Structures are given as C-alpha cells and as structure tokens.
Amino acid sequence: MAEEQPQITRLHVTISGHVQMVGYRAYAQARAEHHGLTGYARNLITGGVEVVAEGERQDLEAFLADLRRGPRGARVDHVLASWEQPRGEFTDFSIRHY
C-alpha cells in the first residue's frame, strides 16, 4: 500500500475588525510557523489584515481556526477565506508591509 502524498493547498484570508496595532500579523506568523506553513500576513489599507498561506489542508484548517480567534487585544469581526491552487512561491512565513 503506497503512502498518500500530502494534500498541499493555498488559503487566502481577509480578516476585519480591530486587527491592526494589536500584534495580529506577528500572531499569524507564530501560528503559521507552529503549523509548518509558508506564506505571509500584511495589513490592508482598509484596516484589515490579509493572510496567504500554503501547506497541508489539515494544518491550514487549524491555522484558520487560530485566525478566527486572533491574539489577545484583537476583535475579529469577519473572516473571508478562500481555497486556491498552491503556487509554491514561499520558503517561509513572513510579515509584509503594505
């Protein structure tokens, strides 16, 4: 019986609420690294945060649950998540600036 290949996918998330100036991007980075994911988090001019991550589906689902909670001091009002084809463009998880 052959081993199954991991199902690598891409998660694109936009988070709104009180998510800037509360360490949300650093929180996302720490949680992504915990789950072994690659990608980035960045603030949006609209006041939200965008997160793009790639990895195994089960790890991304756990990460998405983390993003819905957010760090202490944040208030997550809305999470818009979409699943996409992976592009394999990341080597780590970083914080981007606009």
- Write the burial class of residue 69 (CB in 10 Å: 0-12 exposed, 13-18 middle, 19+ buried): exposed
Q: Domains of the chain: which residue ranges? A: 8-88
35-44 mean pLDDT: 98
CA 72-69-49 angle, 5° bins: 85
> Using one digit for the tens of pLDDT, what is the confidence trace for 1-12?
556 677 899 999
**Is 16 exposed, middle or buried, given 0-12, 13-18 or 19+ CB atoms closer than 10 A?**
middle
Q: Tell me the percentage of the chain whose pLDDT exceeds 70.
A: 95
Q: Is CATH 3.30.70.100 what the domain over 8-88 is classified as, yes or no?
A: yes
| Angle value at C-alpha 69, between 68 and 71, nearest 5 degrees | 125
Q: Residue type at 87?
A: R
pTM: 0.93
Is 25 a residue of the active site? yes
Residue 10 known to be catalytic = no
Catalytic hit among 43, 57, 68, 69: 43
pLDDT value at residue 2: 58
